[in-house]
Amino acid sequence: MTRARKELVSIDTTPYYHCIGRCVRRAFLCGQDKLSGKNYAHRKTWAVERLRELAGIFAVEVCAYALMSNHYHLVLRLDKETAEHWSEEEIIRRWHTLFKLPLLVARYQQHQALSPAELTVVQQVIAEWRERLMDLSWYMRCFNEHLARRANAEDGCKGRFWEGRFKSQALLDDAAVLTCMSYVDLNPIRAQMASTPEESDFTSIQQRIRDWHNTNNTKKTAIPLMRLVRASQDRHINAIGFTATDYLELVDWAGRAIRSDKKGAIPPHIPPILERLHIAPMAYIAHIRKRTGHAIVLGHLHRIQRAAHTMQRTLIKGISQSRALFPAPSG
C-alpha cells in the first residue's frame, strides 16, 4: 500500500534521502529513443539547470545525482539549520522566484501599513513557506513539474510525464549515505554507458573529479554539491563520516570492481573507509552491482529500529539488506 510521504520522510529522523523518478512514456526523459529515432539528450541539461536553480532557492543540498535515459537518481540533504536562520525577507525573496506572492505578503514586502490581524496572517504564511523550502516533497515537485512541462511542450502533448510520484529512501547514517551515493554515481558504469567515473556524464562523481582537478568545470554551470568533510576535521554544519578523498577512492575502487569479469571477486586494497564505517566489502560490491528491491530505509540495524519507533511502525522493509551491508562491529 502506498504510504503518505510524511510517513516516509522525517527530518528529525535523518536529513538524507535517495530519490528516484522514472519517465512513464515510451519517449525518453533523456537519451536516444530507438523507436522514433529522436534524441532527447539535451533534456539532461534542463535537469542540471533546474538543480542549479533550486540550489539557490531551497535549503536542500545535492549530495549525488545521476541523470539516465529514462530515470534519474538524487541523493539530497534537507538543511533545516540554514532554513531556520533565514530572515522573513529572505524567505519571501526565495519563494517569489518560484511563485506569485499573495497580495498581503506583497504589501508587507513593500512596507505598507497592515493591521495586526493581517500581520499575523503574513507571519503564518511566511512560516509555512520556511517549512516548504526545506521540504523534500516541495523540492521534488518543483523539480519534476518543471521538467514535465518543458518535455510536454516540446513533444506537443499533455498528460503524465512521470511514472507516479517519486520514490524515496531514508538514509539513516553515514554508511548508508556513502553506499547510496556511490551506487548513484556508478549508474552509467553499471549500465555500460561509461567505463570510468570521470567519463560518466551528468553525474556528481564526474563533477567532483573535475572540481578536484579544477578542470572543465565552472562555477556558473556546476550544480552546488554538498561538501564532504569529516567532523574531526571541520565544524561544518554537514560534517559527515567521510571526506572527498575517501569518497573518490571508494568510487574508483568500486567502479573497477563492477567492471570486472569475475563477478564474485573483490579487488585488492580495500578502501579503509569501508572498515571505518562498518560496511561489509562483499555485500557492498553486490549492492553496487545490482541493488535488489526498494527498501524505504538504509542504515545500521540500531538506526532502523530507532526510525521504526519514530515512524510508529513494527515492520520496515530493508532490515535484511542492511544486516548484510552493515554488520554490527565485533567486540
For the chain, give every domain's residue range. Answer: 8-83+134-325, 87-132
Residue 165 CB contacts under 8 Å (≥ 6 apart), including other chains: 5
Phi/psi class of residue 164: alpha, beta or left (left: φ > 0; alpha: ψ in -120 to 50)?
A: left
Determine the pLDDT at residue 151.
87
pLDDT single digits (tens) 214-263? 755 555 568 999 999 876 655 566 678 899 999 999 999 999 888 765 55
The CATH code that applies to domain 8-83+134-325 is 3.30.70.1290
pTM, two decimals, is 0.90
Q: What is the pLDDT of residue 175?
A: 95
Write down the mean pLDDT value for the chain. Answer: 86
Using CB atoms within 10 A of its CB, is residue 55 exposed (0-12), middle (13-18) or buried (19+)? middle
Sheet holding 16-22, edge to edge: 60-67, 71-78, 16-22, 167-171, 297-298
Amino acid identity at 230:
R
pLDDT at position 1? 45
Q: H or E segment at 19?
A: strand 16-22
List Cβ neighbours of 255 (8 Å cut-off, separation of 6 or more): 186, 189, 196, 197
Rounded alpha-carbon distances, angstroms, from residue 146 to 48, 194, 312: 12, 28, 34
Return the pLDDT at 264.
Answer: 53
**Helix or strand run (H / E) with residue 73:** strand 71-78
Which one, of 317, 303, 313, 179, lies nearest residue 251 by Cα?
179
Low-confidence stretches of the chain (pLDDT beneath 50): 1, 331
User: What whole-number distance in Å separates Cα of residue 196 and Cα of residue 200?
Assistant: 7
- Among 25, 24, 30, smallest CA distance to 48 is for 30
* Distance in angstroms (rounded) separating the CA atoms of residues 240 and 167: 24
| Bridge-based pairing state of the strands 16-22 and 297-298 | unpaired
